[in-house]
Structure 1
Amino acid sequence: MIRLGLTGGIGAGKSTVAKTFVDRGAYIIDADKIAREVVAPGSEGLASLVTAFGDDILTADGSLDRPALAAKAFVDDEQRAKLNGITHPLIGARTQALLDAAPPDAIVVQDIPLLVENHTAPFFHLVVIVHADEQLRLHRLTTMRGVDEADARARIAAQATDEQRRAVADAWLDNSSTPEDLAAAAAALWDERLVPFEANVRARRPAEPIEALVAADPDPGALPGRLTNRLWAIVGANATAVEVTASEPSIELMVTARSDDAAAELGDALADGGFAPVAPGRHRSCDPGKPATVAVVAPT
């Protein structure tokens, strides 16, 4: 199984990519859908919000009045923290339950609008960004969704910049043309990279790099940092250091384990995280678009 983080700016066309992936067999986890589910009528989340903010956050039919909640929850940091303290654990628990239910051979696609802003990119095997220029997104929002222009500009400005998205992207799908072109690009990514990547992780088999995929990296200069952050997310407290030791002809990294026991435990974690064992203390990337070698060393 691999987990893919899917995101993009508002109006970029992320839903087209998500649908394409689902049509090809993706196990989808939609962050926005979960956020709505945990505060649905009759839910524990909604009851907790009413207790915290009052029953005037409800509509006449008993559902959540989101503007009324926002008027109370976003007045200061204390109220915002109160809201997050209620909803975030529920969203996390529901997300984990869905992950636990995923088949062992799944390509899990987690559709997360604020993935970049929430700094969660390293926790995914691969991050896909759907991109469209700001003016094109503005046009889509105002003409296709009926969003007021000032509101649309404010929403775009509140999200991550293109540079911030590119820095965490493993794959970049451009949506400056037609939905059909975007769907075709997403389907090609699925067939040529995601399916082999998942199969390699499940078989604990290193990938043979595919030149075209490697060359398509959205920001090669940021790749060492992406790999370093990904490794930290995998190894966690079992390591004291992750460092890049070489960048040519491919990237090599070294993980210093916290102890001899920790070094032994890291093998499985790295394999599950996308780096297959190739020799004692050595691993290679399972992703045909992201070649890298990882050495694990015991503390000196």
Structure 2
Amino acid sequence: MSKVIGLTGGIATGKSTVAELLKAHGFKIVDADVASRKAVEKGSEGLAQVKAVFGDEAIDENGEMNRQYIGQQVFYDDEKREKLNAIIHPIVREIMEAEKAHYLSEGHDVVMDIPLLFENGLEETVDEVWLVYTSPSIQIDRLIERNNMSIEDAKARIYSQISIDKKSRMADVVIDNFDTKLELKQNLEAVLAEKGYLKDI
């Protein structure tokens, strides 16, 4: 019986690295970020809806969504952000559900890679929730280094999500990522072995 795992974490906890490792172990990955881009790709119904709500400036000269403009519109305005989410979320869900159903029909174990899984109340849509965990101080350090952010911006991004400690109490499996990629790989493989998922690569 194929399983559906919800993979989540906080910003800069290493979730994308874990998704890549799981892919190498034969899991099929359904990525919320990829689906979000697909939902408003050039010529899509989703993009037409965004233009109808946010005006012509929502589309750049290449016919794609003007992410900078939309970002400025929604970042400090909850009402506008809700309008954008009301357009994008149903389309994203449809795309992800179709991918999931396709992989399950072929007998694969599926990983739903969803950064805001708990924030959007999606834990009921998966069999188990796996969380990639690190400390908030490491999250801040990684964000500053990776995205060249100020400490204030890094903290703002992290604190806009449910805290990683609270998420760790809500998850079925917690994968620690405090150190090197090798250690992360070993921690993940220990989980896979314990759960009976360990497959030959």
Runs (5+) with no aligned partner, structure 2: none
Q: Secondary structure in 2 aligned to 1:135?
A: helix
Rounded Cα–Cα distance in structure 1 between residues aligned with 2:182 and 2:190? 12
Q: Say yes or no: does 1:140 pair with 2:126.
A: no
Rounded Cα–Cα distance in structure 1 between residues aligned with 2:125 and 2:48? 31
Q: Which has the higher helix share?
A: 2
1:98 is matched with 99
Rounded Cα–Cα distance in structure 2 between residues aligned with 1:57 and 1:8? 30
Q: Secondary structure in 1 aligned to 2:197?
A: helix
Q: Secondary structure in 2 aligned to 1:119?
A: coil
Identity over aligned pairs, percent: 35
Q: Say yes or no: does 1:185 pair with 2:187.
A: yes
Q: Which has the higher strand share?
A: 1
Q: Tell me: CA distance 1:73–1:176, structure 2 relative to 1, closer, same or farther (3 Å).
A: closer
Q: Secondary structure in 2 aligned to 1:101?
A: helix
1:169 is matched with 171
Counterpart residue identity of residue 146, structure 2: M
Rounded Cα–Cα distance in structure 2 between residues aligned with 1:55 and 1:96? 31
Taking structure 2 as the reference length, the TM-score comes to 0.89
Q: RMSD over aligned Cα, in angstroms? A: 1.8
Structure with the bigger RCO (C-alpha within 8 Å, sep 6+) is: 2
- The offset of 1:43, in angstroms, is 1.3
Q: Tell me: CA distance 1:160–1:75, structure 2 relative to 1, closer, same or farther (3 Å).
A: closer
Q: Tell me: CA distance 1:183–1:153, structure 2 relative to 1, closer, same or farther (3 Å).
A: same
Q: More deviation in 64-73 or 10-19? A: 64-73
Contact 1:116 1:164 survives alignment (8 Å) = no
Rounded Cα–Cα distance in structure 1 between residues aligned with 2:145 and 2:72? 28
1:51 is matched with 52
Q: Say yes or no: does 1:42 pair with 2:43.
A: yes
1:71 is matched with 72
Rounded Cα–Cα distance in structure 1 between residues aligned with 2:64 and 2:73? 16
- The offset of 1:145, in angstroms, is 2.9
Rounded Cα–Cα distance in structure 1 between residues aligned with 2:176 and 2:186? 11
Contact 2:28 2:110 survives alignment (8 Å) = yes
1:129 is matched with 131
Q: More deviation in 61-70 or 8-17? A: 61-70
Rounded Cα–Cα distance in structure 1 between residues aligned with 2:86 and 2:160? 22
Aligned residue runs from structure 1 range 178-257, under 5 A: 178-193=180-195, 195=197
Runs (5+) with no aligned partner, structure 1: 197-300
Per-residue CA distance 1:242-266 (angstroms, 9 max, x = gap) = xxxxxxxxxxxxxxxxxxxxxxxxx
Rounded Cα–Cα distance in structure 1 between residues aligned with 2:196 and 2:128? 9
1:89 is matched with 90
Per-residue CA distance 1:169-190 (angstroms, 9 max, x = gap) = 1111111111111012212322
Per-residue CA distance 1:228-251 (angstroms, 9 max, x = gap) = xxxxxxxxxxxxxxxxxxxxxxxx
Contact 1:11 1:137 survives alignment (8 Å) = yes
- The offset of 1:49, in angstroms, is 0.8
Structure exhibiting the larger radius of gyration computed from Cα positions? 1
Taking structure 1 as the reference length, the TM-score comes to 0.61
**What is the aligned length?**
196
Counterpart residue identity of residue 144, structure 2: T
Contact 2:8 2:15 survives alignment (8 Å) = yes
Q: More deviation in 182-191 or 42-51? A: 182-191
